[in-house]
Amino acid sequence: MDYLPNEVLIEIFDYLQKDSIWNVLNVCRNWKNVVINSTRLLKKLEASVRPSSIDNVLEEYSSIPITSLMLNTLVAKEEPNNLNQFNEKLKNLIEKHKTTIEFTEMIFSRMEFLTDYISQLSKIKHLNLVNARARNEPQLEISLENLPKFPHLKLIGLKNATHTLKYLQHHQVETLKCIDVENLSTGRNISEFMKVTKSLKEVKFMGFIPHLIEIENFTCELTTLTILIKGQTETQSNSILDLMRAQKNSLKELRLIGFNTSGFVECAINELQLTKLEIDITRLKFPLTALKVNKNIKNLSLQVIAQQNSQLIKIIEVLPNVENFKIISNTNIGFNEWIMKVNDTMTRLKNLSIDALMTILPPKNLNLKSLESLTVSKLGNEFHIHGFIQLASRCPNLKKLIATGYGVKFMQTMSDEGEIVEDTTLCRVEFLTLLATLPKLEELELRGKLTLTDEIVEILISDFCKLKKFNFSAEKDWNLSQKLKKLNQSKIQCKILEIDNGKRGFKRKYSEER
């Protein structure tokens, strides 16, 4: 084994997980050196620290550099004495590793820890503050001012962020994401922050709307604003309206989900020149006149419910320049009327995504010539699938097709990332033979249970003439690799999105932030 070059050893060790790499470290001197000198392998030995484990971490990493350190959320009623001890030990740990330590993402649960080793930090790109609180103000002030510059800041659940933002004002933050940071004084601090942080481009408020003040004095020029909430008060509406008005020259992308009144949205959008709009109109009447001003919107995403069919048609009518259109609904919104409107007005439409329960029966004269990519989700039964194929057959220039099996009914008002995909027998021979008639199809993605039978492989190879990529959710199958090989030989690149191992079903995708 000694005569294998070190770079080959690194390749070998790279297959291993944390536990196995610990064993590798103890095999011999050379192996240990290989691990210690490879940043790639060291990253796998991420240290996770909490008061109960600090001694172990100190010992474990006594001769191994730490490249990534994570501080776990601490028990709230930690004894102050213990905390001091912990702090002391943590300081030791950091001092010991200061030559090699590099933090790319730090999660702080309590500010007083931040204060102690802040000067040791070398590189931070993302700073996440989770339930952070500060007790010792002067110390905090010093430490935060010494913090290296970083562009992305995420605040989660800060109950008392009075000082945090104040000291982060000079850090050229570009993205600010606040999740559940509701508190009056926080609103003032966020205002203060936006007033002086010129570099700020993107702001996201999730679960709350801050009470912003002196909006007219903000120096930042926002291009993107995202607000995800569950209903709002009138004061909050006004606050957001003022913000959008003040930022009307730069604001191009707007995402508003979960609002229950629309008057202010109308007022605001009226004055903006948007290119991207994502809005949930399930609980409000949509501001039509306002949209007429925003004819340049290229990316449109709408969440609607069944009763809003006529409104939906009116919206489509006033936005002829849309290139990417996504429609989301948890109810059956009907199909024929709005799709004909899309057909007649949105002549530049390239990508269409339908994430709704619907029985599609395309009208005879439907012909979506400009469409290059079609995504259809929540296909549950025979009728859905049949309709979907009918729809695809009306898009002669389609290059990319993505179909997803029936999704669990999941309220998407809060987060569109929180998608749960369940298995549905989606892919059968008849289905594929029909899709094969699309003359320009290059990429096909089928999410939902798929047994890759020999027959299906044969169809993919011989019936689809231009197919280059095939992505699918697979069922566990011992001959899968053989079949994939066969497809590869016919120049079809395959990617398995997830594997059903028969026990736990598909891996589920959950939202990143919630």
CA–CA gap between residue 97 and residue 410 (Å, rounded): 46
CA–CA gap between residue 71 and residue 8 (Å, rounded): 33
Dihedral sign for Cα 330, 347, 384, 404, please.
Answer: negative
CA–CA gap between residue 141 and residue 162 (Å, rounded): 12
Among 18, 26, 77, 502, binds another protein (CB under 8 A): 26
Among 3, 138, 216, 365, binds another protein (CB under 8 A): 3
What length does the chain have? 514
Residue with tokens 């395309």: 362
Nearest CA-CA partner of 72 in 93, 46, 96, 95: 46
Neighbours of 470 (CB within 10 A): 20
Would you call 400 helix, strand, or coil by DSSP?
strand
Residue whose CB is less far from another protein, 476 or 514: 476
Scanning 13-21, 188-196, 307-315, 392-400 for contacts with another protein by CB under 8 A, the matching segment is 13-21
Residue whose CB is less far from another protein, 20 or 146: 20
- Contact status: 4 vs another protein (CB under 8 A): yes
- The answer to whether 129 touches 155, Cβ cutoff 8 Å, is yes
| CA end-to-end span of the chain | 46
Q: Which helix (H) or strand (E) holds 354?
A: strand 351-357
Residue whose CB is less far from another protein, 14 or 234: 14
Least Cβ distance, residue 7 to another protein (angstroms): 8
Displacement of CA 139 from its chain's centroid (Å): 35
Q: Residue 12 corresponds to which amino acid?
A: I
Q: What character string, x for contact with another protein (CB under 8 A) and - otherwise, covers 485-514?
A: x--xx-x----x------------------
Scanning 54-62, 136-144, 293-301, 435-443 for contacts with another protein by CB under 8 A, the matching segment is 54-62
Q: Residue 359 corresponds to which amino acid?
A: T
**Token pair for 69:** 């350190």
Least Cβ distance, residue 25 to another protein (angstroms): 8
**97 DSSP 8-state letter:** T
Scanning 26-34, 155-163, 166-174, 275-283 for contacts with another protein by CB under 8 A, the matching segment is 26-34
- The answer to whether 316 touches 345, Cβ cutoff 8 Å, is yes
Least Cβ distance, residue 449 to another protein (angstroms): 18
Close Cβ partners of 187 (under 8 Å, ≥ 6 residues apart): 210, 211, 212, 213
Least Cβ distance, residue 139 to another protein (angstroms): 33
Residue whose CB is less far from another protein, 303 or 473: 473
Least Cβ distance, residue 367 to another protein (angstroms): 36
Scanning 15-23, 42-50, 430-438, 501-509 for contacts with another protein by CB under 8 A, the matching segment is 15-23
Residue whose CB is less far from another protein, 196 or 496: 496
Residue whose CB is less far from another protein, 26 or 99: 26
Least Cβ distance, residue 478 to another protein (angstroms): 9
Size of interface with another protein, in residues (CB under 8 A) = 34
Least Cβ distance, residue 22 to another protein (angstroms): 8
Q: Measured at the alpha carbon of residue 436, what is the angle toward residues 397 and 442, in degrees to the nearest 5?
A: 50
Scanning 52-60, 311-319, 332-340, 424-432 for contacts with another protein by CB under 8 A, the matching segment is 52-60
Residue whose CB is less far from another protein, 5 or 138: 5
CA–CA gap between residue 49 and residue 52 (Å, rounded): 8
Least Cβ distance, residue 440 to another protein (angstroms): 22
Among 33, 37, 39, 56, binds another protein (CB under 8 A): 56
- Contact status: 27 vs another protein (CB under 8 A): yes
Least Cβ distance, residue 489 to another protein (angstroms): 6
Looking only at residues 314 through 353 of this chain, which bind another protein when binding is defined by CB under 8 A? none
Would you call 450 helix, strand, or coil by DSSP?
coil
Residue whose CB is less far from another protein, 241 or 467: 467
Neighbours of 476 (CB within 10 A): 11
Residue whose CB is less far from another protein, 29 or 364: 29
- The answer to whether 42 touches 63, Cβ cutoff 8 Å, is no
Scanning 55-63, 171-179, 228-236, 286-294 for contacts with another protein by CB under 8 A, the matching segment is 55-63
Residue whose CB is less far from another protein, 36 or 284: 36
Phi, psi for 211 (deg, rounded to 5): -85, 95
- Rounded to whole angstroms, what are the CA distances from 291 to 70, 232, 305, 455? 46, 22, 19, 50
Residue whose CB is less far from another protein, 5 or 80: 5
Q: Which residues pair with 496 in a beta bridge?
A: 472
Close Cβ partners of 344 (under 8 Å, ≥ 6 residues apart): none
CA–CA gap between residue 354 and residue 403 (Å, rounded): 10
Q: What character string, x for contact with another protein (CB under 8 A) and - otherwise, covers 451-490?
A: -----------------------------xxx-xx--xx-
Residue whose CB is less far from another protein, 16 or 267: 16
Q: Which helix (H) or strand (E) holds 358?
A: none
- Contact status: 16 vs another protein (CB under 8 A): yes
Looking only at residues 59 through 118 of this chain, which bind another protein when binding is defined by CB under 8 A? 59-60, 62
- The answer to whether 290 touches 313, Cβ cutoff 8 Å, is no
Residue whose CB is less far from another protein, 14 or 95: 14
Which positions lie near another protein, rule CB under 8 A?
1-5, 7-8, 11-16, 20, 23-24, 26-29, 31, 56, 59-60, 62, 480-482, 484-485, 488-489, 491, 496
